[in-house]
Amino acid sequence: MFHHRRSYQRSTCLGFHQFKETRRLAASGNLPPVKNPLDIVLGSALKSFGLDMLAEYFSRFSKNDASIKPWMPASLDPGMFLIDTHCHTALSDGEGDFESILRQVGQGKYLDGLLLSNHVWSLEADDKTRIPNEKVLHQSYEVPDIVADLKRKRILPDHFISFPGTAEFVTKGTDRFPKKGVEIIGTGLSRSFIQDNGGLGRIRKLLAEDLVDLIHNDGGVAIVVHPFYFENAYSPRLWRTADAIEIVNQTTHMFVEPATRAFVKKVTMDVPLVDEAFRLQPLFGYFSWRARVEIERHPRPVVGSSDAHVGCFAGTGCTMFREPITSLEDFRTALRRRKSAAMLNPRWEAQAEIPAIIDAIWHHWGKKIVRTMFFINSKWRAVIPLLKIATDSFKRFKDTPFPAMIEAEIT
């Protein structure tokens, strides 16, 4: 099915972050705020999913517009302080434990801080069923001791920071869209936060705005994560009260990167619908771009993160501060004063071992995608024509600069 003209090493020598921009640009590209006419027609139906500017995104994507690319500075001034505010372990749906991830970050020297923000659930052996994890905050209190030990061993620098009491919560929605689930990271929370607020069952039924109030009452910091990942998390009260909005999430954006397509090299047989799935690949760039559009309209403090589910991906997206962060209060104050910037991480890029990263992506995401393709092909054949119709609309982007670069990886 796939015929390779390039060696694996040669096709990935440009680094992982190829879909990037070295200048900080507004998502609007300084264009007048006029919506694509198709968005006006479809906006009402797609707004609650956060997809109300999809036509505008793809019309500009077809021109390889620089403003849709996330920022990754070509170099960093000495003293820049980088924190990844969103990372998972095997205690939820990721891989690796606290120590192995922190050790890898320390050895790579590409972060000054990391928030290990597991979901409030773990996965059954079937890798699908979610089990509520009421102990997630207790588990996060193990991190300071591990950080201290790795500092003593000179694996982590003395200035490295991580906050206990960190978890990623899901709520039923927002004031504006009460039925579209929204996720919030709370950090600096007490061990008893979940129990004090009625348990995970009650927290899950809260609006995001009310959860932010509870996090603040407990002394914590609240971050709205991937606000347009098939949801619309813009709500005036939520954005006004949350401490920060995540506008770079490299795990949702990861599927845009040309290097990610290398996972198909692992497949030795024809994979049903794989072409259709990859025609949808550019959609994942939309989520970060859409968040940046909303930040332009409604400025708020921002963070960037990896949302890593495999250890080698921690730090690929991050938040930059120009001054060291030494405590939770420093973190809160820097956000409030809007001293943060969200970006891809050039330190991570400089030392990334791409074959190992692609291998990790394959084992964590690639196999799941292939299984899903087979499942759709065998159990949901009626939806295949709809999938083909949807992906046909993206064919016209195939010959533009960025998609052509992707095709070069597998043709």
Q: What is the pLDDT of residues 229-278, one digit of tens each?
A: 999 999 999 999 999 999 999 999 888 888 887 777 777 778 888 888 88
What percentage of the chain carries pLDDT values higher than 70? 91
Span 297-322, average pLDDT: 97
CATH topology of domain 8-408: TIM Barrel (3.20.20)
**pLDDT given for residue 405 in this prediction:** 35
The 10 Å Cβ neighbour count of residue 367 is 14
Q: Which residues of 158-194 are buried (b: 16+ CB within 10 A; e: fewer)?
A: eebbbbbbbbbbbbbbbebbeebebbbbbbbbeeebb
**pLDDT given for residue 3 in this prediction:** 31
Overall size of the chain counted in residues = 411
Distance CA 13, CA 193 (A): 46
Phi, psi dihedrals of residue 66, rounded to the nearest 5°: -60, -30
**pLDDT given for residue 244 in this prediction:** 98
Q: Do the Cβ atoms of 349 and 149 come closer than 8 Å?
A: no
Q: What is the pLDDT of residues 315-372, one digit of tens each?
A: 999 999 999 999 999 999 999 999 999 999 999 999 999 889 989 988 898 888 888 8
Q: Mapping DSSP to helix (H, G, I), strand (E, B) and coil, where does residue 372 land?
A: helix
**How far, CA to CA in Å, does 60 sit from each of 31, 161, 222, 284?**
11, 39, 33, 15
**pLDDT given for residue 236 in this prediction:** 97
Q: Pick 267 or 37 by higher pLDDT.
A: 37
> Scanning the structure block, which residue is given the tokens 């995608």?
369
Distance CA 402, CA 279 (A): 13
User: Which amino acid makes up residue 166?
Assistant: T
Q: Is the pLDDT of residue 5 over 70?
A: no
The pair of structure tokens assigned to 210 is 């009310």
Q: How far is CA 94 from the centre of its chain?
A: 13
